[in-house]
């Protein structure tokens, strides 16, 4: 059956082709289509060439007669002889029913002309000395000119003939040409018919199935059965490959993309919606920098241009983006150039991976390590300070007791009373300093009670700022959560922070204190991102002071670290160290941000408490 179908297909295709080839072979063998023009030219050239030779002989004979008579230089004899020659030429042209012209190149004058089909100036070109046959062009109505020169007298002789005289042969050849054309048309019609019956019908069956997205299932001619089965197999393979790579792309941690050489997206996978919140259609045609902030675009654009110029790939390129909701997302970009056949860059293809959580974890780890290091340092210093403070306190009690006894034993009004009071005040200040040192150590652990911190914050701030030329702006959330805190120590925290703020604003200004509940942390903030998963009361102190130099920010919590111009106590350096110690003992955190000339902002994070007051 299959063998018979193969033979049927062979006969259907081969038969009309073989017949057509045979017909074309016979026609081209017997009738050459260009024989018309070639034969006409050859015949005209022979006829006009023969007449031209006769005219040339006439000129030669008459010129030789002048030479023999010795009258070649006799102007009168030459004129008479030339007149006789022109008469003989004219008679010959009339006798042969030809048109022609004799042109004197020396005198630049036409000596003889018959009735002409065109003005001589339109086809005569004597300056170039043309010899032989020349067609006068399509506009000349089929006329040919044969050019000959008689150099002794400087004559150019031109004879004209029209191809219409050979019309009988031309008519016969045209009929042959038309018959050949009809045969070719008929053969083409037969070929189209057989192709339609043999090829187009099965092809249409296969194409219609493909257009409907179905697998072709043609049965009939073996070749098309094989083609149908092959296409079906390829469609199944393509579908499996497509499903495979789609699943790889859609389950990837990043999104796959392609951009053109201008950096505009031409393809982007569906996973971009999970990472940046945009539907792929929203990003197609837009720049790859569309989701980046302006500063990030300024940083990344030169990198893209440099790599594109050198046809270099991108490797582990970290860039900052904003998702559709405006949240910051960090992407790690990898891409390779797409090179066109001509060797030029046509775009890039690659994948963007969301590494936001990795960076946050890395930042959290770094912040935790910094916090742990600071606590270890404070603990070491506190252990030393606590031992010294306790001994120092014991000595202070003895000193203060003796000063008090001395005051009792001395009469009032004596000058020494003044010095004893100063010694007593200094001893009290030394006692306070000893207590601060104890607070730095574990010996200063807080005695915790549950309560709202907002009244303590408002009263402490109001009492310190009341008599100075600094304004206070309190922004305390109404339903501020309760916390576990030591009231004395927390009051000391507020006093130390506000005092530092006041001392940084000798010319006055504004201190803003903001207290609110912190339910959801900002993962771009290095302190907030490292906080344990709890609810916090966030207290922010912001001043308009001189600010802190960047190189000092890492050391401001170190005991006895100070800048010489900070505060009236000149170098006490325990204020923020005590604040850090107290907040840490409350399981809280503290962060500082400052720019010289732009003020300082200190933020406390105290864990909220769900216990009853």
Task: Give the residue from 27, 38, 29, 25 showing the smallest Cα distance to 177.
Answer: 27
Classify residue 180: in a domain, yes or no.
no
Is residue 388 domain-shared with residue 452, that is, in the same domain? no
The DSSP letter of residue 326 is S
Is residue 388 domain-shared with residue 472, that is, in the same domain? no
> b or e along 190-203 (b: 16 or more beta carbons within 10 Å of the residue's beta carbon)?
eeeebeeebbeebe
Name residues whose C-beta falls within 8 Å of residue 316's C-beta, 6 or more positions apart in sequence: 332, 334
> b or e along 488-514 (b: 16 or more beta carbons within 10 Å of the residue's beta carbon)?
ebbbbbbbbbbebbbbbbeeebebbbb
Is residue 479 domain-shared with residue 603, that is, in the same domain? yes
pLDDT in tens, 64-92: 887 888 777 777 888 888 888 888 888 88
Task: Tell me how many domains the chain contains.
Answer: 4
Q: What is the pLDDT of residue 124?
A: 65
pLDDT in tens, 247-288: 555 555 688 889 998 889 999 888 889 889 999 999 999 999
Is residue 434 domain-shared with residue 405, that is, in the same domain? yes
Task: Give the residue from 161, 158, 117 showing the smallest Cα distance to 140.
Answer: 117
CATH assignment at residue 76: 3.30.450
Is residue 333 domain-shared with residue 291, that is, in the same domain? yes
Is residue 347 domain-shared with residue 370, that is, in the same domain? no
Q: Is the pLDDT of residue 568 over 60?
A: no
pLDDT in tens, 481-494: 999 998 888 888 89
CATH assignment at residue 605: 3.30.565.10
* Contact (CB, 8 A) for 154 and 105: yes
Q: Is the pLDDT of residue 542 over 90?
A: yes
The DSSP letter of residue 608 is B
* Contact (CB, 8 A) for 575 and 494: no
Which range of residues forms the domain containing residue 434? 356-444
Is residue 286 domain-shared with residue 411, that is, in the same domain? no
Is residue 316 domain-shared with residue 374, that is, in the same domain? no
Classify residue 239: in a domain, yes or no.
no
Is residue 340 domain-shared with residue 392, that is, in the same domain? no
Is residue 470 domain-shared with residue 488, that is, in the same domain? yes
Of 150, 169, 188, the domain-final residue: 169
| Band of pLDDT at residue 538, cut at 50, 70 and 90 | very high
Classify residue 362: in a domain, yes or no.
yes
Of 396, 426, 444, the domain-final residue: 444
Classify residue 504: in a domain, yes or no.
yes
Classify residue 155: in a domain, yes or no.
yes
Task: Give the residue from 501, 509, 534 showing the smallest Cα distance to 520.
Answer: 534
CATH assignment at residue 419: 1.10.287
CATH assignment at residue 313: 3.30.450.20
Is residue 457 domain-shared with residue 335, that is, in the same domain? no
Classify residue 315: in a domain, yes or no.
yes
Query: Per-residue pLDDT averaged across 138-143, rounded?
Result: 69
Classify residue 15: in a domain, yes or no.
no
Is residue 117 domain-shared with residue 262, that is, in the same domain? no
What percentage of the chain's residues is helix, strand, coil (to nearest 5)? 55, 20, 25
Classify residue 244: in a domain, yes or no.
no
């Amino acid at each position: 059956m299959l063998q018979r179908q193969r033979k049927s297909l062979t006969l259907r295709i081969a038969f009309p082709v073989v017949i057509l080839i045979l017909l074309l072979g016979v026609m081209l063998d017997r009738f050459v289509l260009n024989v018309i023009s070639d034969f006409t030219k050859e015949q005209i050239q022979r006829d006009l060439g023969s007449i031209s030779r006769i005219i040339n002989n006439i000129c030669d004979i008459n010129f030789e007669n002048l030479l023999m008579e010795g009258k070649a230089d006799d102007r009168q004899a030459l004129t008479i002889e030339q007149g006789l020659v022109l008469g003989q030429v004219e008679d010959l042209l009339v006798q042969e029913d030809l048109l022609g012209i004799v042109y004197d190149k020396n005198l630049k004058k036409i000596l003889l002309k018959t009735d002409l089909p065109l003005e001589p100036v339109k086809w005569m070109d004597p300056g170039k000395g043309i010899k032989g046959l020349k067609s006068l062009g399509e506009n000349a109505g089929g006329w040919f000119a044969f050019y000959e020169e008689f150099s002794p007298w400087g004559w150019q002789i031109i004879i004209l003939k029209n191809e219409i005289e050979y019309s009988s042969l031309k008519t016969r050849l045209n009929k042959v040409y038309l018959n050949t054309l009809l045969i070719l048309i008929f053969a083409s019609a037969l070929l189209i018919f057989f192709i339609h019956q043999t090829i187009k019908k099965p092809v249409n069956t296969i194409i219609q199935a493909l257009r409907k997205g179905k697998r072709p299932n043609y049965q009939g001619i073996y070749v098309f059965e094989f083609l149908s089965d092959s296409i079906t197999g390829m469609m199944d393979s393509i579908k499996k490959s497509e499903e495979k790579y789609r699943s790889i792309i859609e389950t990837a941690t990043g999104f796959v993309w392609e951009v053109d050489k201008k950096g505009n997206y031409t393809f982007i996978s569906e996973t971009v919606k999970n990472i940046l919140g945009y539907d792929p259609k929203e990003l197609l045609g837009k720049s790859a920098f569309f989701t980046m902030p302006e500063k990030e675009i300024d940083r990344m654009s030169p990198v893209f241009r440099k790599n594109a110029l050198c046809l270099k790939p991108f490797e582990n390129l970290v860039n900052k983006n904003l998702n559709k909701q405006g949240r910051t997302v960090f992407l790690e970009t990898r891409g390779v150039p797409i090179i066109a056949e001509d060797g030029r860059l046509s775009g890039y293809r690659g994948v963007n991976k969301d590494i936001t959580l990795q960076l946050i974890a890395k930042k959290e780890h770094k912040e935790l390590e910094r916090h742990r290091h600071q606590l270890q340092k404070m603990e070491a210093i506190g252990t030393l300070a606590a031992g010294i403070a306790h001994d120092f306190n014991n000595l202070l009690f003895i000193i203060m007791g003796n000063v008090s006894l001395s005051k009792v034993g001395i009469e009032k009004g004596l000058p020494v009373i003044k010095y004893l009071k100063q010694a007593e005040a200094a001893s009290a200040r030394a006692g306070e300093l000893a207590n601060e040192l104890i607070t730095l150590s574990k010996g200063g652990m807080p005695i915790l009670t549950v309560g709202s911190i907002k009244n303590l914050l408002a009263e402490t701030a109001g009492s310190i700022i009341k008599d100075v030329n600094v304004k206070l702006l309190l922004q305390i959330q109404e339903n501020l959560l309760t916390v576990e805190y030591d009231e004395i120590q927390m009051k000391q925290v507020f006093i130390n922070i506000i005092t530092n703020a006041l001392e940084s604003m000798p010319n006055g200004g504004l201190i803003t204190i903001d207290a609110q509940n912190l339910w959801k942390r900002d993962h771009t903030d290095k302190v907030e991102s490292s906080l344990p998963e709890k609810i916090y009361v966030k207290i922010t102190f912001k001043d308009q002071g001189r600010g802190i130099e960047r190189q000092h920010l890492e050391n401001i919590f170190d005991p006895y670290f100070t800048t010489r111009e900070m505060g009236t106590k000149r170098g006490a350096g325990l204020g923020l160290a005590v604040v850090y110690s107290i907040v840490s003992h409350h399981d809280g955190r503290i962060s500082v941000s400052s720019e010289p000339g732009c003020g300082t902002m200190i933020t406390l994070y105290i864990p909220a408490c769900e216990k009853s007051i």
